[in-house]
Amino acid sequence: MSELAPRYSAAALLRARFDRHFWGPLWRRATPRDAYDVVVVGGGGHGLATAFHLARDHGLKRVAVVERKVIGYGNVGRNTTIVRSNYLLPDNFHFYEDSLRRYENLSQTLNFNVMYSSRGVVDLANSDDEMVMYARRGNAMRLAGIDAELLDRDGLRRFMPELDPSLPRRYPIVGGLLQRRGGTVRHDAVAWGYARAAAALGVDIIEECEVTGLSTAAGSATGVETSRGAIRAERVVFAVAGHTGAIGRMLGIPLPVETHLLQAMVTEPIKPLVSTVVSYMYGHAEVYMSQSDRGGLVMGGVLDGFPSYTREPLWHRLEEVVQGAVALFPQVAGLRILRHWAGTNDQTMDGSPLVGRLGYDNVFLNGGWCYGGFKAIPASGAACATLVATGQAPDLIRSFAPERFAAGRMLDEKGAGPFPLRQ
Ligand SMILES: Cc1cc2nc3c(=O)[nH]c(=O)nc-3n(C[C@H](O)[C@H](O)[C@H](O)COP(=O)(O)OP(=O)(O)OC[C@H]3O[C@@H](n4cnc5c(N)ncnc54)[C@H](O)[C@@H]3O)c2cc1C
């Protein structure tokens, strides 16, 4: 039986019906030990996935994930759950395709249902020029064996009958680019699944423990200072998402990253309406939308647009998203917003991530995921673990090295970048 195989026998499941304590914690609440092979700072998706792969793929026995709040507090639990690999640049689409394939099997990998739903992702086009750009992106993907379909208005009607593309709109809809294997994955299940699977392999998940400094000697890191005392470590990985800039300041290493706010919301539940993930740019605004299993419309738009650590977002951004939603689907006008939240994103200047060494030979950064890092988690965890364990960056993430800015080798893909402009 594999280490991740079900923990419960049929008899145990039967007993469980009568045992209200059956649903115990998914992972041990660990306290810090003196020393580890690797300390991963940040218990978001990237930190947990990196720790899981360090233990599973590289056999490291002494790995800790140190999280200043609780698992799922950060963006891994705040995103809008969209996964896709519809990028234009090969370095991006190969990486995100690897991630999407891992998502397709993640429930089996973790033995935890992450509810992957391949409902498709459609980017709507407002003009013929935009269709040309989508055709270019779709063709690049198809040449690499990744699914992409250019839809005209009739194709859109067939794929998502809930949308009437020919309604008069200020920004008309002329077609779109579809990736059928794109879709959604339940975000908190991803965090819990990785945490549970990593802990089952011996990883210490240490919550409510903030890393406040890096200990060094003779030009190498020797561990981390934390709110619960010093921890020695042979290697340290920072996977702190929106706090990447703060880590850069802590280490005295300026990073090409800004912290920006991104908000999202969900409406009251309604009967099934939106069958896919749809995104619609109109002017300088955007709405993207999917329908949750409970029936709420989950919606988001562009960044608030100024660097900040606050989670109190701008009201007018919310209004823009709602305007876009009603322009797309007039039938949703009048729905009530149930919840609204925001997260802090680590936006890089070219919109691509930062994965590589950070200042020291044994310190690594896994960050810069901007507002698209949820879909990257499975590939990033596997590749970052290989980098940390072997010292060699796998091809998949070589072009994400932070040194690219000094060398002028930006991976600049608009639409995935700091401000969602069209390609
Ligand atoms: C509203 C919104 C919608 C989004 N929608 C999508 C989407 O649909 N698809 C997609 O692909 N991406 C999306 N994203 C982006 C995605 O959520 C992030 O890129 C990704 O989750 C970031 O990686 P993470 O999960 O590791 O981050 P986090 O979950 O934020 O993990 C970082 C952790 O580090 C911890 N930490 C920080 N500093 C310290 C310290 N000093 N010591 C210890 N711990 C520390 C934090 O508490 C946090 O838990 C969205 C983001 C937002 C905000």
Q: pLDDT tens, 262-278?
A: 999 999 999 999 999 99
**Ligand 1 within 6 A of CB of 313:** no
Residue 60's Cβ-count burial label (10 Å; 0-12, 13-18, 19+) is buried
Same structural domain, 127 and 76: no
pLDDT at 20: 60
Same structural domain, 396 and 362: yes
pLDDT at 354: 97
Same structural domain, 204 and 106: yes
CATH classification at residue 355? 3.50.50.60
User: Tokens 């619609």 correspond to what residue?
Assistant: 280
> Is 294 part of any domain?
yes
Residues of the chain with pLDDT under 50: 1-2, 416-423
**Ligand 1 within 6 A of CB of 279:** no
pLDDT at 18: 67
Q: Which two tokens stand for residue 274?
A: 């939106």
- Ligand 1 atom with minimal separation from the 344 CA: 53
Same structural domain, 199 and 319: no
Q: Which of 176, 206, 332 is nearest to 269 (CA)?
A: 332
d(CA 321, CA 60): 45
Q: Which of 122, 130, 150, 129 is nearest to 287 (CA)?
A: 122
Its pTM stands at 0.94
pLDDT at 419: 42
pLDDT at 15: 72
For 332-355, write each residue's pLDDT tens digit. Answer: 999 999 999 999 999 999 999 999
* Best probe residue, ligand 1, of 100, 187, 240, 298 (max atoms within 8 Å of C-beta): 240
Same structural domain, 292 and 342: yes
pLDDT at 10: 78
pLDDT at 7: 62
Question: From ligand 1's centre to the CA of 173, what distance in Å?
Answer: 32
Same structural domain, 207 and 337: no
How does DSSP classify residue 155?
A: H
CA angle 283, 286, 292 (to 5 degrees): 155
Distance between terminal CA atoms of the chain? 49
Residue 41's Cβ-count burial label (10 Å; 0-12, 13-18, 19+) is buried
Amino acid identity of residue 310, one-letter, is T
CB 85 within 8 A of CB 100: yes
Element (H, E) at 125: strand 121-125
φ, ψ dihedrals at 69, nearest 5°:
-115, -120
pLDDT at 417: 36
CATH classification at residue 168? 3.30.9.10
Same structural domain, 106 and 198: yes
Counted domains in the chain:
2
> Is 375 part of any domain?
yes
pLDDT at 413: 84
Residue 321: give the domain boundaries. 121-181+259-348
- Ligand 1 atom with minimal separation from the 210 CA: 42
- Ligand 1 atom with minimal separation from the 184 CA: 8
Same structural domain, 106 and 220: yes
Name, in order, each residue with C-beta under 8 angstroms of 49's C-beta and a sequence gap of 6 or more.
194, 377, 378, 380, 381, 382, 384
d(CA 402, CA 393): 12
pLDDT at 305: 87
pLDDT at 415: 55
